[in-house]
Chain A
């Protein structure tokens, strides 16, 4: 299948004086029409950076980055802010992790819709309002009319999150990038939002990249899962495979930490991830890894193919055995 979005060798580093520190390394993935890639992983591993980079939203004075990003067969000019404006919203839409900062506090929700839609669609105010109200009620927002006329600070955290999703989805983009879209939502609303995103995929063939720490959400929506740790995708495979038989020791540890209606002390992965400045040329996870062996101290995080569509970046014997 022709991929809709292809990210090849995305590298991002932080610039500080004359030093640079790697934050994201060799991230590559591609998504077909109507497909969903779920990204999970350690807090601080570069998931949000990856999302922002695709839309060309990282400030160039702080971040250095390089990649080839191909959208519908054409290379995206992600360095050119002006050119990117033509793509943002219409071709690729981003739902940001922090809902409050995505809104302008002195503008009503109505103004947000008007500005977003006026730039891209030739609609008058009444058409915009009708479409917005329809979308807001699909997001399970009660009395959408009141919300439409309110300011961001008058809405609860979960309401803002849903309004932001409505603003992105209403443009019917061909790729939707959603960074933690359901974090602060109760289960009934979460359920509705995932349903809505799934409907959108079917109806418009939208391709979706979704970042979430909520394994239930990921399990419900992703066709493929990428697991990030310290700037690398450490494991990637079809969703079922990752969920049922995770191979990378980080993925396995992550799944074990999940509470499951018990009071028993939760299993932890001991230790802390390395911060950007501590990262070096050994396996980033080795200090915390139960499978740590001799090869780990100079392992260059190479991808090891376990099968055609499953790779891990791990040098433990256990991994190599599975492929033999």
Chain B
């Protein structure tokens, strides 16, 4: 996958399909077995060690589980200050002002500086983590379910903020989310994953409604339908035994004999639209 400067790629997919793992690999935290990750054309896993530090500033990640991603002994001030001190050498009043500014951007009051992680609600801590990621003014941010515990009104504020920051600084995002409406709002392109593979990708979010992989269609059909009488959901015999063919085979309404025996490759079906399916 490619993410251009100042653009956002939305990544959606089944729970457990490898989105967070992919996010960690792209941000340099987990070395892939094969393949490479290029930032500005340079392989991030093959860099001279003196450049690693700069890399840490360039790529930031907002983790899915905010409680597990912060040091419980650091207060919000220390959490957000850390990158400001390390990368920009800020101190004193400057540092203090910048931390206040960042807290304000994520809609938290100044008084929250002295609070420790366990003193925040789920959504408040998630915003502290977003402030920290923005602090180092990176060129690329992996956002792993950044909205998952925010109420809709704060979600709107954060989505607008992310969109403003993107316009102002040309930062690029990988947005991992199950919230299709949020993905639609912030992303410029979209990628659908299933069982560790990209099943479909669309380069222009304007073509959102052209998504046509059977799994993508399933996701689209479920929007806003929670709890509706659920007889229409297929009965799954999920045996994880990796079959040779398509991993979606057993759930797919369109499967054929071919799908069972050989994995389809990711094919270009029109400009900017790729799909991994024989029978779309």
Whole-angstrom distance between the Cβ of A319 and the nearest chain B Cβ: 20
Interface window among A25-33, A64-72, A260-268, A308-316: A260-268
Q: Mark A181-219, 1 if CB is under 8 A from B, else 0.
A: 001111111111011001000000000000001111101
| Chain B interface size, under 10 / 10 to 19 / 20 to 34 / 35 or more | 35 or more
Q: Mark B210-238, 1 if CB is under 8 A from A, else 0.
A: 00000000110011111110100100101
Determine whether the beta carbon of B233 is less than 8 Å from that of A191.
yes
Q: Given A43-B150, A188-B14, are A261 and B181 neighbors across the interface (CB < 8 Å)?
A: yes
Q: Mark A143-179, 1 if CB is under 8 A from B, else 0.
A: 1001000000001111100100000000000000000
Interface window among A79-87, A98-106, A109-117: A98-106
Interface window among A118-126, A269-277, A296-304: A269-277
Whole-angstrom distance between the Cβ of B251 and the nearest chain A Cβ: 9
Whole-angstrom distance between the Cβ of A152 and the nearest chain B Cβ: 10
Contacts of B111 in A (CB 8 A): 275, 277-278
Contacts of A73 in B (CB 8 A): none
Nearest CB to that of B251 among chain A residues? A188
Determine whether the beta carbon of A187 is less than 8 Å from that of B156.
no
Determine the distance from Cα of A143 to Cα of B160 in the docked complex, in whole angstroms: 40
Is the CB of B252 closer than 8 A to any CB of chain A?
Answer: no
Q: Mark A250-262, 1 if CB is under 8 A from B, else 0.
A: 0001110111111
Determine the distance from Cα of A191 to Cα of B123 in the docked complex, in whole angstroms: 23
Determine whether the beta carbon of B226 is less than 8 Å from that of A186.
no
Partner of A268, one of B64, B153, B223: B153
Nearest CB to that of A47 among chain B residues? B121
Is the CB of A15 closer than 8 A to any CB of chain B?
Answer: no
Q: Mark B113-128, 1 if CB is under 8 A from A, else 0.
A: 0000000111110010
Determine the distance from Cα of A185 to Cα of B13 in the docked complex, in whole angstroms: 9
Is the CB of A48 closer than 8 A to any CB of chain B?
Answer: yes
Name the interface residues of B28-48: CB closer than 8 Å to any CB of A: none
Is the CB of A235 closer than 8 A to any CB of chain B?
Answer: no
Determine whether the beta carbon of B152 is less than 8 Å from that of A258.
yes
Determine whether the beta carbon of B124 is less than 8 Å from that of A43.
yes
Is the CB of A293 closer than 8 A to any CB of chain B?
Answer: no
Partner of A217, one of B122, B150, B227: B227
Q: Mark B87-117, 1 if CB is under 8 A from A, else 0.
A: 0000000000000000000011101100000
Is the CB of B263 closer than 8 A to any CB of chain A?
Answer: no
Is the CB of A20 closer than 8 A to any CB of chain B?
Answer: no
Determine the distance from Cα of A99 to Cα of B68 in the docked complex, in whole angstroms: 10
Determine whether the beta carbon of B230 is less than 8 Å from that of A195.
yes
Determine whether the beta carbon of B233 is less than 8 Å from that of A192.
yes
Contacts of A217 in B (CB 8 A): 226-227
Q: Given A159-B16, A185-B15, A189-B14, are A269 and B227 neighbors across the interface (CB < 8 Å)?
A: no
Besides the known contacts A146-B240, A257-B155, 13 further A-B residue pairs in the complex with CB atoms under 8 A apart? A43-B149, A97-B122, A98-B65, A142-B16, A142-B240, A186-B15, A187-B180, A215-B152, A216-B223, A217-B227, A221-B226, A253-B153, A263-B185
List the 6 closest pairs (A to B, CB-CB), nearest first: A220-B227, A158-B15, A43-B123, A220-B226, A257-B156, A143-B240
Q: Name 15 interchain pairs, CB-CB below 8 A, sorted by A.
A: A48-B121, A143-B240, A157-B20, A183-B149, A184-B178, A186-B15, A187-B178, A195-B227, A198-B227, A214-B226, A216-B224, A257-B153, A258-B152, A260-B181, A266-B185
